[in-house]
Amino acid sequence: MSRPDDDAGWRRLHPLSLLFRIGSTARRLLLPALALLFVSRGQGYELWLAVMFVPAGIASIVSYLSYRYRLGEDELVIRQGIVTRNERHVPYGRIQNIDLVQNLLQRWLGVAEARFETAGGEEPEAVMRVLSLAELASVRECVFREARPIAAGPDPGTPAEPARATESLYRAGLPQLALLGLTSNRGLAVVAAAFGALWQLEPLGYDPQSLVRAIARVDPSRAHLPPGPWATALVAGLGFLVVVLALKLLSVAWTIVRLYGFALDARGADFSARYGLLTRIAATVPQQRIQLLSVRRGPLQRWLGQASVQIETAGRGGGGGGEGAGTEVERLWLAPWIDDRALPGLVARALPGVDLESAAWQPLAARAGRRILRRGLAITLAVGIGPAIWLGPKVLLALVPLVLLAVVHARLWTRHAAYALLPDAVLWKSGWWTRRTSVVPYGKIQVVGLGQTPFDRRHRMASLSVDTAGAGHVGHSFELPYLDEAAAHALLGRLAEETSVRAFRW
Amino acid sequence: MLGSVADGVERSLDPRSITVRRIVGAITTAAIGGVTLIALVVRLIASRPTRGDVVLLLLAWVALVAAIAVLSWLWPPLSFRHAFWRIDASTMRIRRGVAWRSVVSIPRSRVQHTDVRQGPVERAFGLATLVVHTAGTEHASIGLSGVAHETALAIRDHLIDVQA
C-alpha cells in the first residue's frame, strides 16, 4: 500500500464480520471457559477467562482490519495479516464456484459468507466472511463475467451465450425430502454426535458414565415379561424396531433441515443450487466443471420410480468445512429425489449430448458370476470355519442363509453390472440392491488403467478403471471388474483414444 | 531426439535398473538386518536367555535376513521382464507387474507437469525416475523408474512440448 495507485480498489469486508469473527472465536472458547468457571467456583479464576478472551478478541479485530480484497481486471486479490503479510491472487478463470452460506443470524442481518473454490486442494481457496448481499452480487458478477470465456469454451452442446435468464430445473418438496431422509442413515451420525457432546460436558460436573450405567441397570429379568425365549425375542425385536424407527425419524428431520427448499436453477451455463432451513446455502457449479454424474436408485426409489442425481466437481466436491466455517457445502446433489421421467432431461442439461436411454449396455465376462459366487463362498467358509471348530459342526447350518445370499448376490450383481460407450461419454452401472449408474464425459477422463490379479489372469479377465479430477465423494468409483481380457484391452485403447482427442478444461 | 521416444514402440526399462534395484535392495536388507539385530541383542541382554534360545533366535534372524536378501536379488530381473513403456502420438502407456499386472494409459493432453528425479544410486548409474502428474484423483502422479536419465529427459521434453 505504499504507492498511491496501489491503494485503489481495495475493499474491506462488511463491518459485521467483526461480530461473526468474535462469535466464532467465542464459540471455540466456550466449552473450556465454562469448564474453568465451574471448576473455579468463585476462587478468582475468572481472571483467566479474560486472559483467554481478550487476546482472542484483539486477534479478531486485527484480522478484520488487515483483511482487504480487490476485484482486479482478471483476478481476485486478497491481502491478509499484519506480522506475516499474505497476498493471494486468484485468477477468475480458476475459480470453480462461489458458494454462499448464511446462518440464521446472517440471514436476519442481510449478510453472507462466500467461499471461493478452485480445483486444487480440500479447502476453499478463499473464504470471505461476511459480505453484504449487494457486495456479494457485485463480486459474483465480476468473477463470472471474467470467467465466462474459459468456463464455456467451444464445448459441443453448450448453448450460445448470453442466455442469462434464470431457468428453474428442479425443486424438491417436503415429501421428497422426507423420503430421501428415510433412505439415509444420517440419524445414526446425529446420535453419535450427541453422545460425543455429552462427554464434552464432563468438566461441568455432569458424569457421562451415569447414562451408560442407567442403560446397564435396565434388568430384563425384573421387567414384567412373560417368560420364555419367544417373549424375549419379541421384546428385543420390538425394541430394535423402535430404535430403527427413531433413527429414521432423526434422519428425516436432519435431511429436511439440511435440504429444505432445495432448488436447482440454470443460468446460462451455470447451475446453482439453493437449500437449507436454518442455514441457507447457495452453491454454483458451472456446467463445464462437472467431472462425473451419478444416478442412484435404492429399493424404495425404484419402487416409487424415483432417483437421486449426484455430481462430482474438481476439488472438494463436498464435505469438510473450511477454517472456522461451521457448515459444509454439499455440492454433491444435483437433484436429491427426482422422478424417473424428468431424469433424462436433467442429465442432458448437466452433460449435453448424453442420453442415458440410448446406451447399448455391454455385459461383464460370461464367467464373472461364477467368480463372484466362488469368492462369496470362500468368505462364508472362512467366517464359518472358526466357530465350527470351536462349537461343533452344527454351526455350519447357520451358514446356509449366507450361502443362499452369496448365490443370489452373484447372480443379481452380474445381471446389473454393465458398461456402455456413448458418442461423448462412458457409462458404468453396478449394484442390485442400491443401483448406481455413473457417467464420465470423455473430456473429463484423466487416466485410464487396467489391472489384472493372478485370479484375473487365470480366468482371462481384467478390471478397468477410469480416473477423473473428482474427489470420489459420490461413492461410486469408476472401476469395472470382471471384464473379458480382450474387451478390457479394447476398451482401454478406445478410452485412451477418445480422451486424447479432447482437450481438458477444468 | 523427440521423434525417437514417441514412436509407438514398446520398450523395456534400462537393464542397468536391475543392478540399481539390487543395490537398493541390498541397502534395505542391511538396514532391516541391522535394526532387527540391535533389537534382538537388546532384548536378549535384558532377558537372560538360555543358550538354546539364543541360538534359535539368531537362526531365525539369519533366515529372515537371508530370505529378504534372496528376494531382493531375484525380484529385480523378474519385475524388469514385466515392465514396459510406450509413447505414441497421443498417449503414454506403462505396463508392469509380475503377479498383479497393470497398464496405465495417460493421454498426453492430461499431463499437468512432470518431474525427473534421481536418487544417489540412480545418479551413479545415469538412471532416473520420471514422475508424470495428472489432475486425476487416484492416479494423481505416476512414476516410471529405471529409465536412462537422457531418456527420461527426452520423454519429459516430449510430453511438455506438445502440451504448449
> B155 and B138 in one domain?
yes
Pick A492's closest partner by Cβ from B99, B103, B134: B103
* Half-sphere exposure at residue A186, Cβ-oriented, CA atoms within 13 angstroms: 18
The CA distances from residue B142 to A269, B15, B83, B133, in Å, are: 34, 21, 14, 6
Q: Which domains does chain A have, with CATH numbers?
A: 4-151 (2.30.29.30), 180-257 (no CATH), 261-364+417-500 (no CATH), 368-413 (no CATH)
A99 and A283 Cβ atoms separated by less than 8 Å:
yes
What is the least distance, in Å, from the CA of A308 to any CA of chain B? Answer: 24
- Which pLDDT score is estimated for A390? 84
Under DSSP, the state recorded for A470 is B
Residue A134, Cβ neighbours under 10 Å: how many? 10
**Cβ within 8 Å of residue A384, ≥6 positions away:** A395, A396, A398, A399, A402
CB contact under 8 A, A499 and B104: no
> B90 and B151 in one domain?
yes
| Cα dihedral value A307, A310, A311, A315, nearest 10 | -170
Please, what are the averages of pLDDT over each run of 10 residues along chain B (164 residues)? 73 95 96 94 84 89 95 95 92 94 93 91 94 86 93 90 54
User: CA nearest A448 in B: which residue?
Assistant: B105
Residue A501, Cβ neighbours under 10 Å: how many? 12
> B101 and B74 in one domain?
no
Between chain A and chain B, how many beta carbons pairs sit less than 8 Å apart? 86
Give the integer Cα–Cα distance in Å for A352 and A266.
13
- Which pLDDT score is estimated for A149? 45
> B93 and B67 in one domain?
no
Question: Could you say which of B45, B79, B113 is where a domain stops?
Answer: B79
Question: Could you say which of B29, B62, B79 is where a domain stops?
Answer: B79
Q: Which domain holds residue B136?
A: 2-13+84-163
Give the integer Cα–Cα distance in Å for A279 and A104.
6
Report the complex ipTM.
Answer: 0.85
Question: Could you say which of B79, B95, B123 is where a domain stops?
Answer: B79
Q: How many domains does chain B have?
A: 2
> B154 and B89 in one domain?
yes
> B40 and B75 in one domain?
yes
A25 and A57 Cβ atoms separated by less than 8 Å:
yes
Here the cell at position A136 is 456479494
- Which pLDDT score is estimated for A144? 72
Instruction: Find chain A residues with C-beta within 8 A of B102's C-beta.
Output: 449-452
Using 50 as the pLDDT threshold, list the residues of chain A that sit under it.
1-5, 147-163, 317-327
Give the integer Cα–Cα distance in Å for A435 and A426.
17
- pLDDT tens string A188-224: 877 887 777 777 666 556 666 777 777 666 665 555 6
> B158 and B90 in one domain?
yes
pTM for the whole thing? 0.79
> B48 and B21 in one domain?
yes
Q: Which of residues 60-99 of B touch A (CB under 8 A)?
A: 90-91, 93, 97, 99
> B125 and B70 in one domain?
no
What is the least distance, in Å, from the CA of A503 to any CA of chain B? Answer: 6
> B107 and B60 in one domain?
no
> B8 and B25 in one domain?
no
User: CA nearest A473 in B: which residue?
Assistant: B137
Q: What is the CATH number of the domain that holds B94?
A: 2.30.29.30
> B140 and B111 in one domain?
yes
